[in-house]
Amino acid sequence: MAGIAVLVPGEIAGVMTKTPGFIFGKRPSAPQQDLTGEHKPAFPQQSPQPWLCRLQEAVHSCSVIAPQNRVTESLLLSNKQRPVLSGLEMLIGKSLKALELQPRQHRSQQLMLAGLEQVARGCFKHGHQVMVPPMTVAEANSVLGKLGWVHARQVLPASRLRPLQRQLSRWMADSGAPRRWPWQGIDQQAIRLHHHNPGALRALAAALPQLDQVYALALDPQLAALLRAHTAWPQAVLSPIHNLRAKLPWRFSQSAFTTVPWHQDFGASDPRADPVCLVTAWIPLSPAEPRHGGLELIPRSHHLGWLPHHRGPRGPEVLPEALDDALQQRPDLQPVAIHAQPGDVVLFDQLTLHRSLTNRSGRTRWSLDLRYAEAGQSTGRPGQWAYDPRVGEPWSNTVLKLAEQRVQAMVHPIHKRVDL
């Protein structure tokens, strides 16, 4: 059954995301309460049948791709064929139970694919149609493939993140908020800093030249390998478009930027820099579940192309009418909430629609969002620094000089595509 991909029902997606090697998030079970008056796009209703909703949800929440890189867009089942769906759930559930007993090796992926092939064989045996459409030209040329995003779990070990976390803790202590207890994390220390000096966290962009561990992580060989595996770029370079963010709990900071609305990162690039092909790497430094103000995105939305934006009170956002029109034309596009932990890396296309949620927890959400491009191609902001550092190669303090050059360039107005 080479070339067949089977969709995993939505309820199982949450279990599957905890399995090493599987990379997609799950759609939130209930809509988030809006605390900011944000425009809510009208996502079309999928289907009144719960089981069909789960299958359609699986298309954008947990697609498992078999060897020939074909994606099963739908399993066409009628109400009378519901027992087959129950069998599918049972078989995948058993496969997941077996995977929990396996060590963290590629064997787990092989077992899952083998189990899913059995499901596909059973569908064909009982005469059920499994559609495996060929990839379109646009999908084949997309840097991150058909879905436009990848959630790579636990690819950065704790030992790689710890130097940056310690440096951030020292920076906050120097800013007037030392750790109260030795075991206190940077998420709680940031709240103390906010109480002591409310404007300190807003100055993180200017502090980047002092934080060499940010660039040590951004240029790490493990990120180079991850980008090479998912983009096929022989060499990636870091773009000057990158940010270090600390999102405080809602009750401590009810600013306009508590949430970030739906947007595309392509809008941050200079309109004079064409063509631009960037990939965003979103790296949580503390727990980043939806309740922590994590990331939410719309898989396959990069196929919509660049949508009209405007600069709203909470930053760049897609024009509400443009977003509603696009979603009405593509009822298959539905949002997915990312459940991420330190060590994860979420890669997504520059045209993938995404936003950040409200932080309803009692912890600060720390994250890095970095942009990468293929070496020799535009990195989106020409002239903002002298050269583009190569990812995976040994770096020196000259990178900090680039960071200082970048901060100085930001004093002047930055040309952004979103302002056109």
Maximum mean pLDDT: which of 102-106, 111-115, 278-282: 278-282
Residue 142: the pLDDT is 61
Q: Are 92 and 12 in contact (CB under 8 A)?
A: yes
C-beta neighbour count of 194 within 10 angstroms = 21
Give the pLDDT score at 39. Answer: 64
Contact predicate 25/337, CB 8 Å: yes
* 237: three-class secondary structure by DSSP: strand
**CA–CA separation, 202 and 256 (whole Å):** 13
Q: What is the model's pLDDT at position 311?
A: 87
pLDDT of the residue at 259: 78
Under the banding of pLDDT at 50, 70 and 90, the label for residue 258 is low
Q: Token pair for residue 379?
A: 């990195």
Spell out a b/e string for 330-361, using b for 16 or more CB atoms within 10 Å of the CB, else e: eeebbbbbbbbebbbbbbbbbbbbbbbbbbbb
Give the range among 25-29, 181-185, 266-270 with minimum mean pLDDT: 25-29
Fold of 149-419: Jelly Rolls (2.60.120)
pTM of the model: 0.71
- The token pair that represents 107 in the structure block: 């064997």
Tell me what the mean pLDDT of segment 66-88 comes to. 35
What proportion of the chain, given as a percentage, has pLDDT over 70?
Answer: 65
Q: How far apart are CA 59 and CA 72, in angstroms?
A: 8
Bond preceding residue 275 cis, omega within 30 of 0: yes
Q: Look at residue 392 and give its three-state secondary structure.
A: coil
Among residues 240, 218, 222, the alpha carbon closest in space to that of 230 is found at 222
Q: Which residues pair with 130 in a beta bridge?
A: 75
Residue with the bigger pLDDT between 153 and 114: it is 153
Which tens digit of pLDDT belongs to each residue from 377-399?
999 999 899 999 999 998 888 99
Average pLDDT over residues 29-51: 51
Neighbours of 293 (CB within 10 A): 25
Minimum mean pLDDT among 65-79, 127-141, 262-276, 278-292: which range?
65-79
pLDDT tens digit sequence for 359-374: 999 999 999 999 999 9
pLDDT confidence of 128, banded at 50, 70, 90?
A: very low
Other CB atoms within 10 Å distance of the CB of residue 1: 17
* Calpha distance 24→22 (Å, rounded): 6
Per-domain residue ranges of the chain: 6-26+62-134, 149-419
- Report whether pLDDT(38) > 70: no
Length of the chain in residues, anyone? 420
Inter-helix orientation angle 82-100/107-125, to 10°? 170
How far apart are the C-alpha atoms of 79 and 57, rounded to whole Å? 18
In this prediction, residue 255 carries a pLDDT of 60
What residue type is assigned to position 269 of the chain? Answer: S
**pLDDT band at residue 41 using 50, 70 and 90 as cut-offs:** confident
Distance of CA 46 to the CA centre of its chain: 24
Q: What is the mean pLDDT of residues 101-127?
A: 44
- Please give the pLDDT value at position 411: 85
